[in-house]
Amino acid sequence: MTLYRPIVAALGFVLSADRTRVLMVQRTRDGDTHAGKYNGLGGKLEPDEDIGTCLVRELREELGIEVTSARLRGTVNWPGFGKVGESWFGFVFVVDAYEGVVPERNDDGPLHWVEIDRLGELPLWEGDAHFLPLVFDDSVAMFHAVLPYDDDNRLVSASVVVERR
């Protein structure tokens, strides 16, 4: 049996004050596996932090904001996803409130406030369609997804468990 050792990460979706738009980064950096795609914001868990602290630190580093309210919405397991087929396990958050001013871009590319109901029109990873609507659905208490990718970063299958309120 192969030991499973995913990269653990926090993925945050920052809401606008009126809760109709979400902040997305348009990845444009050369050599980036995500180039051409839109993503939420976040990153890898450090050995000395919990996942909430990771989210706050990552958004401070990537956006220069201080998260004041965030809710865990679910988890996503991405086996085989990444530059060299590494696996990722993400804790997905909605950021309801923050302090600071969001910049126009960060190191990964331009930042855009996107209408939540128009997210599906963006170039996203194929697997995002299976969990992204759940992030913003208030009838969902929690979701857990498994979205394996092959060596060409194509979605192999999708399994999503949804807990309703």
Q: Does the residue 1 lie in any domain? A: no
The secondary structure of residue 150, as a DSSP letter, is: -
| Residue 149 within any structural domain of the chain | yes
CA distance 38 to 8: 20
Q: Residue 93 maps to which CATH number?
A: 3.90.79.10
| pLDDT tens-digit readout, 29-70 | 888 788 899 999 999 999 999 999 999 999 999 999 999 999
Structure tokens that stand for 38 in this block: 């839109």
- The per-residue pLDDT for range 85-134, each reduced to its tens digit, is 789 999 999 999 999 999 999 999 999 999 999 999 999 999 999 999 99
Q: Domain residues for 57?
A: 7-164
pTM of the complete model: 0.95
- The C-alpha atoms of residue 1 and residue 115 are separated, in whole angstroms, by 44
pLDDT at site 41: 98
The two three-digit tokens of residue 6, written as one number: 């995913």
Q: How many domains does the chain have?
A: 1
Q: What is the pLDDT of residue 56?
A: 98
The beta-strand segments (E) located in the chain are: 7-14, 21-26, 38-39, 41-44, 66-78, 88-99, 105-106, 109-115, 140-146, 159-164
84 band by pLDDT with thresholds 50, 70 and 90: confident
